[in-house]
Structure 1
Amino acid sequence: MDPFSFDPARLEALTFDVFGTVVDWHGGVVREGRRLARGRGLKVDWSAFANAWRAKYAPSMDRVRRGELAWTRIDDLHRMSLEETLQEFGIGSFTEEEKARLNLAWHRLDPWPDAVKGLRRLKKRYIVATLSNGNVRLLVDMAKRAGLPWDCIFSAEIFRRYKRDPEVYLGAIDMLGLKPHQVMMVAAHQDDLRAAHAVGMPTAFVRRPLEYGDPKKKDLTPEPVFDLVVDSLEELAGRLGA
């Protein structure tokens, strides 16, 4: 059988992108920024702030890939990007403790309303695991707070490579003792899914129109190569018979 042909009966595990796919990073950063700014008279568009901070995410990982930075976990890349974003928005009044708290907002993100129920359904039939660029402690803290029922946590930190490097996908598959066609990648980001497809994984695109706070900022048109396209993790569970 063609290993690239999708057969749900062969699936044994699902790996999930986390930021934007399972949890609402935008809403979490906006909430934390507003809390810290309360009573200070700051006039900040926290939605724009969150998106500007997030926009530095991929370029910061590219600096590691190019060798400009040694291996650096996401918490530390986030902190470097936070300093730049605070400067861009003219915010100079936060203490070091407050900046550290804002940086750890990524550990305290809320799940999308469908996420926990969908994961619980999928977990009854499949191994469910993160496959995220977030570092291990970040993903553990997030899961404990949000009640995300992962069977295991795969982080780029384990492989010291970032998605969309193939070593991350293949490393997780190997640690599960499975073959690429047995592990589905689930993500709200099309470049993530393209990279997973390239190593032989089936793919599920989850539409998250509010990832950036405004549906106009999100491309929801899926590429034909994706095996499933859904609007929630509960829908995904239903499509897979879980």
Structure 2
Amino acid sequence: MTTRPQLQVLFFDVFGTCAAQRTPVADTLSRAAIEALESDTSSVSSEVRSKAMKMEWNKDVDVFTSESKEKHGNVDWRAVDKYRFKSLHKLLAQLSLIIPDEEADASELAVKEGSLWNESQLKQLGLVWHHLPPWPDTCRGLDMLNKQFSTVTLSNTYNELMTNLVAHSSIPFKHVYTSDMFQSFKPNPKVYLGAAEKMGVKPEECGLVAAHLNDLKGAKACGFYAIYVERPLEEKTPELQEENIPDMVIKEDEDGFITLAERLGIQGR
């Protein structure tokens, strides 16, 4: 571990780090299936009902975001919602929970009668990332950290989505930054260095708080202090653990951002 510099700004990855995503997304989809099955099911086929009762959403959640983390080129930032809708549509079709209407315009992603959800219901499900819940320690920990630091989101998404999520979850960030503001995706240095410049600080005065080692690796290469907050099931590149990337580690069995604040000299429990 390196000596902590004089930090002024703490940037935060959000999806998975500040807001839980895997379980809430799985629960939302599972709940929607149960509600659909308990409603008037006269138009839902028996095969669809059987599949829905046996599905395991957690195995398939990653497909929603895996292809949206491109690092270069022109990006339609708001298209992430359309992408997630298409991914959801494809996933449910593979599980035979919806019956795609092959005769409809491909861009409409229409479904036939007998599906578990109609097009409107599917679009609502696809917006689950706009209102993810914070981890239990997130808001309290940020209240503590705000006493000493500027706290800023730095997420691979577009600003309106992140603003909606932060407002919905009442997460007390001082500033909301997203990758679209810097025309790239993390871990491109343009995002980290652009965020530091926008805040008017040097990279060495910045820390990145994240539950993903690849994000921390990119930030550290730009001179940021790397703070790893372990979250359940969030690490997708465990092989990076051998590289000793973090400057500070908050273990999964500790109290997340509250422990982080205390490590940084802030008391407030």
Q: What are the Cα deviations for residues 118-138 of structure 1, in whole angstroms up to 9, with x where unaligned? A: 111001110001000122122
Deviation at 1:18, TM superposition (A): 0.5
Alignment of 1:140-179 (within 5 A): 140-179=163-202
Equivalent in the alignment of 1:22: 18
Equivalent in the alignment of 1:59: 67
Deviation at 1:219, TM superposition (A): 3.7
Opposite residue 69 of structure 2, the aligned amino acid is M
Structure 2 CA distance for partners of 1:193 and 1:218, relative to 1, 3 Å: closer
The CA RMSD over aligned residues, in Å, is 2.2
Distance 2:131 2:60 in 1: 17
Q: How many residues align?
A: 227
Opposite residue 72 of structure 1, the aligned amino acid is W
Does residue 142 of structure 2 align to residue 136 of structure 1? no
Which structure is larger by alpha-carbon Rg, 1 or 2?
2
Deviation at 1:89, TM superposition (A): 2.5
Distance 2:32 2:84 in 1: 17
Structure 2 CA distance for partners of 1:222 and 1:204, relative to 1, 3 Å: farther
Distance 2:139 2:237 in 1: 23
Equivalent in the alignment of 1:79: 85
Distance 1:160 1:79 in 2: 23
Equivalent in the alignment of 2:215: 192
Helix, strand or coil at the partner of 2:126: helix
Which has the larger displacement, 171-180 or 225-234?
A: 225-234
Helix, strand or coil at the partner of 1:24: coil
Length-normalised TM-score, structure 1: 0.85
Which of 60, 78, 86 matches 1:49? 60
Which has the larger displacement, 159-168 or 33-42?
A: 33-42
Helix, strand or coil at the partner of 1:65: coil
Question: Conserved in 1, the CA contact under 8 Å of 2:214 and 2:237?
Answer: no
Structure 2 CA distance for partners of 1:72 and 1:143, relative to 1, 3 Å: closer
Distance 1:230 1:133 in 2: 22
Which of 93, 98, 117 matches 2:121? 98
Distance 2:197 2:97 in 1: 45
